[in-house]
Each structure stands twice: as structure tokens, then as C-alpha cells.
Structure 1
């Protein structure tokens, strides 16, 4: 569900701050996840369910097993935020250096090596449409999508300018069972749960 104030798209700083305050006040109050996009507040009503959370755990462990020690596949808080664009997102997994996590407040999305999302059963367009638009705008160089509904996914890379703003130029689709490369690391998708 998206809650979009009339002037959300104008990027008025007071509107973004009001949405940000609302999102922070809802943390741990209502089930699901709140994020701020160009259209307004997105509420992914999913309560963490087994296949979604288990997929995130498998991916995190598989990545951390082969990444250098100074990097993590982080699944916690905080969010990533570009206040000037009026966007605050919370990727399921953030591949980031430990040193870049030592900041007050939200992570700078430009410090992420990759964002990984497990598609929500309740709001798949949030992962397949709006994050495909928002993540390159935020400067996240690699966006990997895993979709337990279909057993497929994609890795998007190579941000380039377009008339509609920065977009990913390269998309590599995969099906569960194939190996997938995220940045410098190739992991198996064997045995990932399905919805």
C-alpha cells in the first residue's frame, strides 16, 4: 500500500520530514515495513514469514562465506537514505564494509556494494518496480532480486543517466538452481525456499 501526499513528488523538505517522522513512529508498532519513495510512504504489510526470512538468511550466509572479512551481508537496521531525493529504503540485505556501518543514523546508500531484496508476496511491485527505479537514483551500484513466488530473479548493474533519471543498464536474469554473481561473488541458488 502506498500513502502519497499531494506534494510528495515535489520533494518539499517539510513533507519528507513529516513522512520520515511518521515512519519512525511506526517502527515496532505495526507489522510490516515502512519505506519512503518518490510517491510517498510504502507499507509492505508482510509480517516476516518463513520462506522470506529463510531466503534472506541463506543468501546472507552464502555471501559472507566467500566475501572478505571486512565486508558483511547485513540484514538489520538502519535504513539507507537520500534526504535530498526524499527516499528512505530498507533493503533485506545490504552488502557493505564494516567501516561504512560506523555512522550515526541511516547508512549512505553510496557506500553499499549491493542491495539484495527477497520479493514480498504481499507487494511484489515494490521490489520489481519502485526499487528498480529508486536504487540507482540513490547510487546503489548493484541490485539483486530473488523472487520466491516464481523461483526467478535478476541482478541489475551499470547505472547510467536517462531522461527519467539514473537507471540500471544491465539486467541478468536467473532461475533458482543456477549460480548467480553479485559484485565479485558467485553463490548458488540451490535449495532456496519458495512461496
Structure 2
């Protein structure tokens, strides 16, 4: 599903209508809807078990090495930048406990990192759309884990380009190697794969 992207920006009535639609479907349909630069996209989370287990492994591994005041949060709320017309919900958000207080969406600039586990049914959402949207939101580190192929990448160092902000640094990894997300290194050994 796609709605006119250019009209979705800068808090227009169309963006508000898309946001209301996304919020009205939350939890009623499989997967979740997010608002991107192209409009509304359905982020299918399947197969559920490898995707969920990967997120749980990563959360636990990160929380063992991060300071107490940080959390690897899974779930609601979304991160939103209404002027850019983007509302996303990363699989895992590295954020300070203090920045989770209050109502409404998280400020994306409060995130230390966004982590996504690639879905089998829509890999371009993680490898293309989110790779574009997260630097626009100001998320300093974006880590992608791909259970389809047992590999991933960590992107950082936002810089300006003619097409808007993009990540300048990309560090690829294979499952089995250690990976550094922001300043914390975790193992990728034993992460589930899609069959």
C-alpha cells in the first residue's frame, strides 16, 4: 500500500490521516504499518519465531554490556518526525530510560541506535527504506540483522548528500562474528536463521 509521499511531509492533513490509519490498525492486523518517505508500508514480521528470537537474543546481549541507564527497548511507541512525514517502530531501540518518559512517540534524536531484523517477505523495507529514513530521523547508528543470509551491517556517521542525510560508514558482518553497535560489542553466534 502506498499513499502520495510528497503530501505526507511537513505535518499536512494527509500525514495526519495516514498516522490515524496506522494507529487504528495497530494490533488488529499481522505485522505493523509505518509511514515512510514513500507513504504507508506494511512491515510484515514473519516468520515470527526466528524474528522474535533474534530480537530477544540481541536485546539480552546488549543489555549485558550497556550501562544501567540504557535499555534495548522492544515495542511501542513509535519514533516520529512529523515534519519529515516519517513514523517508524524499530525492532529494538537503544535509548536512555530517562528519554522514555512522557506521552506519545519517542523523539528519534533520543535514540542511540535502531536495530532491525530483516523480514523474509519484505527485505527492502530494512535494507533500503529504513537505511534512508533513519538518517533523516537523526538516528546515529542503524544495525541490520538478516536471518535470511546470516549477515548484517552497522551504519553510522550521518553526513549530508544531495539526496539528504545518509550514513557514511557501513561495517558488514557475518553471523558468528562479533559486531559493535555504537560502543558495545556483542556476539552474533547462535542467532536464528530463516529456514
TM-score under structure 2 length normalisation: 0.96
Match of 1:104 in 2: 103
CA distance in 2, matches of 1:185, 1:22: 37
In 2, the alpha carbon distance for the partners of 1:76 and 1:42 equals: 18
> What is the aligned partner in structure 2 of residue 185 from structure 1?
184
Structure 2 residue 90 is matched with structure 1 residue 74: no
Structure 2 residue runs of 5 or longer lacking an equivalent are none
Range that drifts further, 104-113 or 4-13: 4-13
Contact 1:135 1:143 in 2 (8 A): yes
Residues 107-153 of structure 1 deviation map (CA, whole Å, 9 limit, x = unaligned): 00000000000001111000000000000000000000000000000
Pairing of 1:1-195 with structure 2 (within 5 A): 2-5=1-4, 7-8=6-7, 11=10, 13-47=12-46, 49-195=48-194
Could you tell me whether the CA contact under 8 Å between 1:151 and 1:194 is conserved in 2? yes
Gaps of 5+ in 1: none
CA shift, 1:6, in A, is: 6.7
Change (3 A) 1:80 1:12: closer
Q: Is 1:7–1:15's contact at 8 Å kept on the other side of the alignment?
A: no
Once the two structures are superposed, residues 11-46 of structure 1 have per-residue CA deviations (whole angstroms, 9 ceiling, x without a partner) of: 561110000000000011111111000110001233
| Structure-1 separation of matches of 2:70 and 2:120 | 29
| Cα separation, 2, equivalents of 1:46 and 1:180 | 23
What CA distance in whole angstroms lies between the structure 2 residues aligned with 1:17 and 1:6? 13
2:145 counterpart SS class: strand
TM-score (norm 1): 0.96
Once residues 134 and 36 of structure 2 are traced to their aligned partners in structure 1, the CA distance between those partners, rounded to angstroms, is 10
